[in-house]
Amino acid sequence: MKKNRVLVAMSGGVDSSVAAYLLKKQGFDVIGVTMHLWAEADSDSACCSLSSVEDARKVASKIGFPHYTLNMKKVFEKKVVSNFIEEYKRGRTPNPCVRCNQYIKFDALLKKAEELGAEYISTGHYARIEKKRGRYFLRKGKDQSKDQSYFLYCMSQKALSMTLFPMGDIKKTKTRMIAKKLGLPVADKKESQEICFVPDDNYGKFLQDHFKENIDPGPIIDKKGNVVGEHNGIIFYTVGQRKGLGIGGSGPYYVISIDKKKNAVIVGGKNDVFREELLAEGINTISFAMPSEPIEVKARIRYNAREEKATLEAFGKGLVKVKFNKPVRAVTPGQSVVFYDGDIVVGGGIIKE
- Distance in angstroms (rounded) separating the CA atoms of residues 332 and 237: 11
The pLDDT of residue 45 is 46
Task: Spell out the domain ranges in the chain.
Answer: 5-200, 214-268, 274-351
Dihedral angle computed from the Cα positions of residues 197, 198, 204 and 208, in that order, rounded to the nearest 10 degrees: -40
Average pLDDT over residues 67-80: 92
The pLDDT of residue 208 is 82
User: Which tens digits make up the pLDDT trace of 11-61?
Assistant: 889 999 999 999 999 999 999 999 988 766 555 545 567 788 899 999 999
User: Which tens digits make up the pLDDT trace of 267-313?
Assistant: 999 999 999 999 999 999 998 888 889 999 999 999 989 999 999 99
Residue range 214-268 in CATH 2.30.30.280: yes
The rounded mean pLDDT for the chain is 90
CA distances from 161 to 122, 128, 141, 164 (A): 11, 12, 17, 8
Number of H helices, E strands in the chain: 9, 17
Residue 100 catalytic?
yes
**How many other C-beta atoms are found inside a 10 Å radius of the C-beta of residue 32?**
26
User: Which tens digits make up the pLDDT trace of 116-160?
Assistant: 899 999 999 999 999 998 999 999 999 989 999 999 999 999 999
The pLDDT of residue 193 is 64
264-268 and 163-164 beta bridge pairing: unpaired
Contact 123, 19 (CB under 8 A): yes
CATH superfamily name and code, 274-351: Translation factors (2.40.30.10)
Among 47, 48, 154, 196, which one carries the catalytic annotation? 196
Find, among 199, 212, 180, the residue nearest to 49 by Cα: 199
Length of the chain: 353
Instruction: Check residue 246 and give left, alpha or beta (phi > 0: left; psi -120 to 50: alpha).
Output: left
| pTM for the full predicted model | 0.92
The pLDDT of residue 244 is 82
Contact 308, 325 (CB under 8 A): yes
Contact 132, 160 (CB under 8 A): no
- Distance in angstroms (rounded) separating the CA atoms of residues 327 and 273: 9
Read off the pLDDT band of 203 (50, 70, 90): confident
Is pLDDT above 80 for 1? no
CATH superfamily name and code, 5-200: HUPs (3.40.50.620)
The radius of gyration of the chain's CA atoms, rounded to the nearest angstrom, is 22
β-bridge mates for residue 120, sequence order: 6
Peptide bond connecting 252 to the previous residue in cis, omega within 30 degrees of 0: yes
Among 47, 48, 100, 154, which one carries the catalytic annotation? 100
